[in-house]
Chains A and B, each alone.
Chain A
Amino acid sequence: MNESLILLLIETILIGMVPRAMPIFSAALGETVDQSAGILNLGVEGMMLMGAITGLLVDYYYHNIVFAFLAAGAVGILFGAIHGVLVITMKLDQTVIGTALWFVGWGLSGVIYAAIFGISSAPPTVQTLGHIYIPYLSSIPFFGRFIFGEDPLVYILIVTLIVVDYFLFHTKQGLNLRTVGQDPRVAEIMGVNPYLYRYAAVIFGGLMAGIGGAYLSLAIVGSFYFDLTAGMGFIAVALVYFGKWKPWRVFAGTLIFGAVYVFYFMMENIYPKIPYEFYQMLPYVVTLIMILIIGTKARAPASLALPYVKGE
């Protein structure tokens, strides 16, 4: 391979990785807030799927992408609230409930899809989200498209990232939320209502998972099929550990994944000698490697996955 080809390769990865990273990133940002408040949400995968099908349906019938995302977010919030009732109020095991919610979302997204489009018909398509090309800047060679030519939601998510990071580490409410994740008893004594913050966290987690799912169906695939997310929700959870509960690190981790997805799509064509199944394994293998690298160095919020029982 000569130099210009490699440069082209890198540019393609740069352009492609940001949108590819966004579904996982959106969900992972929600999960970061979830876990910072002590809630382990293993149902993200299901919530993403519900967001994906909701977004697609709304866009397919009403041709309004803003409504589509809002609807996906609303369904995510609904799931988040149910999650909250089960693990915060009823104090059920977070591992089991997370798995159960994954099942519910996984099955239900397929059921809704089949109810409307039928089991065996060709998947419906919608136009994918358009990109904003900032004049002049986006035509800067190499970096132009990458930084100044993304779709609007990318910029919205980046702003959300900045806001969430500021919230968690530079506001009183963020400190309160992290306190609830460390020790809800202390929070309560200090006049902070742990239940309130935990509910806020699960609702935000649901919202972001729903948006992430809709991003996948509306901005990347332009369609929906059974189990569209294929484990992205779980990769998001893994990335929260990798990012050590710091939004910017989580973001960096998701970009690596964006790059991995683009890389394997490209390599399937460039180097087809390796069976494509092995390229498809890549995201999962990379996740395993990332988990292995971060290992015990990650220090989770002290009350992660533990219910808070008042007065104990």
Chain B
Amino acid sequence: MNMEKSIKEPIVKMEGIVKTFPNVVANDGIDFEIYPKEIHALLGENGAGKTTLMNILYGLYKPDRGTIYIYGKKVNIRNPSDAQKLGIGMVHQHFSLIPYFNVLENISIGLKELKINLNTNKIKEKLDRIMQEYGLQVDPEKKIEEMSVGEMQRVEILKLLFRGANILILDEPTSALTPQEVEELFKSLKSLVNQDKSIVIITHKLYEVFEISDRITVLRKGKVTYKGFTKDTEQEALVEAMVGRNVVFEEFNRKETNYTGSLKVIGLTVYGKGKIPIVNKVSFELKRGEILGIAAVAGNGEKELIDALFGLIKANEGKIFLDDKQIDNKPTKTRTQLGLSYIPGERLTRGVAAGLSLSFNSILHDHWSDPYIKNSLLNENEIRKFARKIISSFYVNANSEETLAKQLSGGNIQKFIVGREILREPKYILAVNPTSGLDVGATQMVRQALIEMRNSGAGILLSSEDLDELVSLSDRIIVMYKGEIVGSFKRGEFDKLRIGSLMMGKKLN
């Protein structure tokens, strides 16, 4: 923001950091500095090595080579408590909170200033003071499992401040927030910097970088490809540093479609604990040949809605019709046989059986019928053939169809799942974050495949944390808040700010 900051000595200096994992060099000689009172954006694609670098600074990984200096002094950070002693704190993308514990308990875990007795009053006093000082409010007695994502994030930041962190590292802090919550977060980050903190935010979203940061470091394939002040940076240069070439996202070839048949949902309701509706009287119609996006902040019933559509949880009220056939009382098996596919969000625990081969994983939904069953025995030739088809069509990086699913990287597993769900030629696809964790090329390929499915007559229900993805793929977008549909937009009328307001539960005026 102003020049004088840059004159100061860096408080953190990482030099020549190298970190190798089996098969991949995550960090390849990275130099990285953090200066006092700055917000530093660490930018890069998935897999560029950003999180690895910060995990090294936080003591979670040991670098193979390289040195770290804090306030000019060479340090050896063996574990997170070493990092905390040096005033470094990190908020991971997956929060480090125990859902079953309340805020006070979560703050007290491993707290050095407590000797033996768990003195909650003392902790509460100090927490109150910190909440006052930085203007971050939470209820100290509230259990984490009862909180919204925004609240949890505040708890995480408070936890770091409580431990006297001066350098806060936030890994993709905005990924599950609405635009308004992002706004609020950015405001608190700015006020933290004004109170002498330094902040690193790890992100791959360009607009965030320009909105919040003072300085930028870009990583690509484990190397630094750009360093500079935000105010001196051109957007094009940044994109090129990130992806290696100036990628222009091509417009998808969106055909006019006119197919008959639809997935119709009428008054669908799912109750949670204590008969509180998680999904509340949701009705919509997904036509074949369209992509219907669901925009929602995680935890507003979008997951339960899709699980209920697939039959994984029971819908307490309401009806579901697939091409005029009522399916709400039918098990998952019947629904898949009628032509329903599902690309789930939890790829490792749900999307594949990690310990089984790709062949076996290719027939999850189709192992009861022709051609994979012959004379009531598994027809291994056909199964292998289908697995090979998925592997080659979706460029899954695997030795053979007999490779175990768990031996693949996360991105390749995702490609395999998307491939399987598409190549079984469904009439309708439920897709949750289909491109999360994929690199640019694979993301583009998956989006292209979804569009082609749409063009050839599949109806796609797309739930994504990435609002940009929803806007670029959907024909219509519905917004869910607290289990209800609170808004609906047609292509051409998409307005990200208005969608964001609705996701936050604000009425439109």
Contacts and interface: CB of A to CB of B under 8 A. Distances in A.
Interface stretch (A69-77, A113-121, A174-182): A174-182
Contacts of B110: 172, 176, 179, 187, 190-192
A189 B92 CA distance: 10
Contact of B116 (A172, A186, A188): A172
Given A171-B116, A191-B110, A186 B61 contact: no
Interface residues of A, number: 22
Contacts of A186: 96-98, 109
Interface in B91-110: 92, 96-101, 105, 108-110
B60 A171 contact: no
A191 B107 CA distance: 12
A266 to B, nearest CB: 42
A173 B98 contact: no
A305 to B, nearest CB: 16
Interface string A178-210: 010011011111111000000000000000000
A36 B118 CA distance: 17
Contact of B117 (A170, A185, A299, A302): A170
A168 B484 CA distance: 41
B85 to A, nearest CB: 9
A135 interface: no
A275 interface: no
A25 B115 CA distance: 30
A272 interface: no
Contact of A187 (B109, B112, B114, B118): B109
Nearest to B112: A191
Interface residues of B, number: 26
Interface stretch (B76-84, B316-324, B392-400): B76-84
A173 to B, nearest CB: 7
A311 interface: yes
Contacts of A183: 98
Contacts of A170: 117-118
B96 A185 contact: yes
B313 interface: no
Contacts of B80: 188-191
Contacts of B97: 186
B116 A175 contact: no
Interface string B455-492: 00000000000000000000000000000000000000
A191 B81 contact: yes
Given A187-B110, A190-B110, A192-B110, A175 B117 contact: no
Given A187-B110, A190-B110, A173 B96 contact: no
Given A172-B116, A311-B60, A191 B98 contact: no
A172 B60 contact: no
B109 A176 contact: yes
Contacts of A191: 79-81, 84, 110, 112
A233 to B, nearest CB: 28
Contacts of A171: 116-118
B206 interface: no
Contacts of A169: 118
Nearest to B116: A171
A169 B105 CA distance: 10
Nearest to A174: B118
B98 A182 contact: yes
Interface string A149-185: 0000000000000000000011111111001001101
A174 B118 CA distance: 9
Nearest to A186: B96
B100 A302 contact: yes
B1 interface: no
Contacts of A188: 60, 79-80
Nearest to B97: A186
Contact of B114 (A172, A190, A302): A172
B64 to A, nearest CB: 14
B111 interface: yes
Interface string B117-157: 11000000000000000000000000000000000000000
Contact of B101 (A173, A182, A185, A299): A182
A300 to B, nearest CB: 11
A179 B98 contact: yes
B22 to A, nearest CB: 12
Contacts of A185: 96
A23 to B, nearest CB: 30
A120 B70 CA distance: 73
B224 to A, nearest CB: 24
Nearest to A302: B100
A251 to B, nearest CB: 22
Nearest to A173: B116
Nearest to B120: A170
Contacts of B118: 169-172, 174-175
Contact of B105 (A173, A175, A299): A175
B447 to A, nearest CB: 29
Contacts of B115: 172
A188 B58 CA distance: 11
Nearest to A185: B96
A311 B61 contact: yes
B100 A192 contact: no
A185 B109 CA distance: 12
Nearest to B91: A189
Given A189-B60, A190-B80, A191-B80, A175 B100 contact: no
Given A175-B109, A192-B109, 6 more contacts: A170-B118, A182-B98, A187-B109, A189-B58, A189-B60, A190-B109
18 contacts: A172-B115, A172-B117, A176-B109, A179-B109, A182-B98, A182-B101, A185-B96, A186-B98, A187-B110, A188-B79, A189-B90, A189-B92, A191-B81, A191-B84, A191-B110, A192-B109, A302-B98, A302-B100
